Amino acid sequence: MGDHKEQPLRVGAAVRRRRRALELTLAVVAERSGLSVPFLSQVENDRARPSRSSLEKVADALRTTAVELLAAADPACSVDVVRAEEAEPVPQPQVRSLVRGHHQMHASEFTGDHDAGREFQHRNDQLMYVADGAVEIEAEGRAYRLGRGDTLYLTGGVRHRWRATVPETRVLVVAVAEHIEAVQDRHR
């Protein structure tokens, strides 16, 4: 069928593509991330699998997110199904990419609590949809409380942070992928 079988994600090529697109050396990424050049080389060559924490450090150094790198890890396909049962039980917060591969759109599901101290700024526009529970989002100096079924649209470049205010909250985030240069048509 169109389903991917259980295969470990290989993020090396996605890390390398992103690093090269930014015209950075491994040494610069190592300095920004606090990780060693040999380790980063092993990651890029899929000889080492970074922990979640290490992947987030690499993503920050590459001005993207770990979720975006994971989404770009699998080869693109024209039709792909991401099954809900592929997700593990939720003893702790998790992020699940809803679109695999290197596409123009990115979608992720955040389940559980979220690191409210971490600030995000995405280059392109995004939409946040609360599927279950409730969240509080801080953007441009204002706090927004969203409940089940509510959405929040953020223009690219807006710094924001958010946190779940109810246990087992699920938030869907849909965005134009970071590797796409979105058209800046702001004439209103």
Query: HEC profile for 63-93?
Result: CCCHHHHHHCCCCCCCCCCCCHHHCCCCCCC
Phi, psi (deg, nearest 5) at residue 47 = -100, -10
In the prediction, which pLDDT does 92 show? 64
Cα 54 from Cα 34, distance rounded (Å)? 9
pTM, whole model, 2 decimals?
0.55
Write the Ramachandran bin of 46: left for phi over 0, alpha for psi from -120 to 50, otherwise beta.
left
How far is C-alpha 80 from the chain's CA centre?
A: 18
Nearest Cα neighbor of 123 from 52, 68, 54 is 68
Give yes or no for a contact between 181 and 112, defined as CB atoms under 8 angstroms apart: no
Helix H or strand E encompassing 61: helix 52-61
In the prediction, which pLDDT does 39 show? 94
In the prediction, which pLDDT does 3 show? 43
pLDDT in tens, 22-50: 999 999 999 999 999 999 999 988 888 88
In the prediction, which pLDDT does 96 show? 75
In the prediction, which pLDDT does 187 show? 47
Enumerate residue ranges in the chain where pLDDT < 50: 1-7, 76-78, 90, 183-188
Q: ∠47-53-54 over CA atoms, to 5°?
A: 35
Helix H or strand E encompassing 107: strand 105-111
Cα 30 from Cα 139, distance rounded (Å)? 30
Nearest Cα neighbor of 102 from 5, 14, 2, 29 is 14
